[in-house]
């Protein structure tokens, strides 16, 4: 293990990003990804270890105008139990419901799930469907800087993203879906919980007069990054949601997904699941 030279648990965002600007900081929130990774040697600690759970204002779920803002340190349990999320974005609550175990949900943060940048990150999938953006904060030229990045453009490869090492993810923001928004999420693993998804599919859009619009489709564990499945979206966009369009969407899912064989599942099986789930999720949406 590398020598850690200082430990910080800042109370303010300014303090945190100033330390990050000074360099080589390892941030932790719930630690549910960082601990196994540092224990196994897959990841090394930087010179400074920083606990971000004490930063004021970094957790909580709130309405901000016509948007919903979720602080980066908000836990999966908090999302799962939040009345605003249940009302306005049930697809996110559904993903929280099927996330790991109670003990992990109580520790795991949304910011950690996104920054870990696993193609299997379960909260990422519904956030892509909700067209969320992430807020990144840093310290430059004596001032706090923030920028917003659409989640769709955040990931660049397995465990890689556009966030610079000196940037802290502070919040996730998405527009409150309109009342005709429908969406659902489905994941699989050999065990119902506590399993990294073999495959996940999330689909959402506005359904009025039987026609599906502004369709967004996200898939997990079928590509190097969490994926927006543009082929499936095109197969559904502006069409009536019926047996024909569902058949077209399933065919497009087969083309969009480019999974690999690994210890958890074969590429063939993942392709199969992604088609089954696309059909199941669309039938669920149609049935409600």
Ligand X SMILES: Cc1cc2nc3c(=O)[nH]c(=O)nc-3n(C[C@H](O)[C@H](O)[C@H](O)COP(=O)(O)OP(=O)(O)OC[C@H]3O[C@@H](n4cnc5c(N)ncnc54)[C@H](O)[C@@H]3O)c2cc1C
User: Please, what is the end-to-end C-alpha distance for the chain in angstroms?
Assistant: 52
Any contact of residue 220 with another protein (CB under 8 A)? no
**Residue 6 touches which of another protein, ligand X, none (CB < 5 to 8 A by kind)?**
another protein
Joined tokens for residue 103: 């003990």
Give the H or E element holding residue 18.
helix 13-22
* Residue closer to ligand X, measured from CB, 101 or 208: 101
Strand partners for 75:
109
| Near another protein by CB under 8 A: residue from 84, 86, 104, 276 | 104
Any contact of residue 31 with another protein (CB under 8 A)? yes
CB of 20 to another protein, least distance (A): 17
Any contact of residue 48 with ligand X (CB under 6 A)? no
Any contact of residue 10 with ligand X (CB under 6 A)? no
Separation of alpha carbons 73 and 135, rounded Å:
13
Strand partners for 135:
148, 171
* Residue closer to ligand X, measured from CB, 34 or 128: 34
Q: What is the per-residue DSSP string for 97-108?
A: HTSS-HHHHHH-
Footprint of another protein on residues 74-93 (CB under 8 A)? 77
Residue count at the site for ligand X (CB under 6 A)? 30
Joined tokens for residue 226: 């969490």
Strand partners for 276:
none
Separation of alpha carbons 16 and 55, rounded Å:
8
Q: Near ligand X by CB under 6 A, which window of 8-16, 24-32, 202-210, 223-231?
A: 24-32
Q: CB under 8 Å to 54, separation ≥6 — which residues? A: 9, 10, 11
Any contact of residue 100 with ligand X (CB under 6 A)? yes
Any contact of residue 238 with ligand X (CB under 6 A)? no
Any contact of residue 119 with ligand X (CB under 6 A)? no
| Nearest alpha-carbon partner for 174 in 247, 92, 115, 116 | 92
| Near another protein by CB under 8 A: residue from 10, 13, 19, 38 | 38
Q: Near another protein by CB under 8 A, which window of 47-55, 114-122, 137-145, 277-285?
A: 47-55
Annotate 200-227 with b (16+ C-beta within 10 A) or e (fewer). Answer: bbbbbbbbeeeebebbbbbbbbbbebbb
Contact residues toward another protein (CB under 8 A) are 1, 3-7, 9, 28, 30-32, 35-36, 38-39, 45, 49, 51, 53, 77, 100-104, 106-107, 191-194
């Amino acid at each position: 293990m590398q020598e850690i030279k200082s430990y910080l648990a800042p109370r303010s965002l300014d303090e945190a990003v100033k330390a990050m600007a000074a360099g080589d900081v390892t941030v932790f929130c719930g630690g549910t990804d960082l601990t196994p990774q540092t224990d196994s040697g897959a990841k090394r600690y930087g010179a400074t270890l920083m606990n971000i759970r004490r930063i004021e204002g970094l957790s909580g779920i709130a309405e901000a105008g016509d948007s919903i803002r979720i602080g980066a340190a908000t836990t999966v349990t908090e999302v799962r139990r939040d009345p605003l999320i249940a009302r306005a974005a049930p697809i996110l609550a559904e993903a929280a419901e099927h996330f790991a175990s109670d003990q992990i949900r109580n520790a795991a943060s949304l910011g950690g799930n996104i920054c870990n940048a696993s193609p299997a990150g379960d909260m990422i999938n519904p956030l892509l469907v909700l067209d969320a953006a992430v807020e990144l904060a840093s310290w430059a030229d004596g001032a706090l800087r923030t920028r917003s990045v659409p989640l769709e453009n955040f990931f660049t490869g397995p465990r890689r993203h556009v966030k610079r090492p000196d940037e802290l993810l502070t919040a996730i923001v998405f527009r409150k879906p309109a009342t005709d928004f429908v969406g659902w999420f489905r994941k699989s693993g050999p065990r119902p919980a506590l399993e990294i998804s073999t495959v996940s599919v999330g689909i959402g859009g506005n359904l009025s007069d039987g026609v599906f619009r502004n369709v967004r489709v996200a898939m997990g564990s079928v590509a190097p990054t969490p994926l927006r499945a543009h082929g499936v979206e095109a197969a559904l966009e502006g069409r009536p949601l019926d047996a024909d369009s569902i058949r077209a969407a399933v065919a497009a899912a087969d083309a969009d997904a480019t999974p690999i064989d690994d210890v958890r599942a074969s590429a063939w099986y993942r392709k199969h699941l992604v088609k089954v789930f696309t059909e199941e999720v669309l039938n669920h949406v149609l049935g409600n």
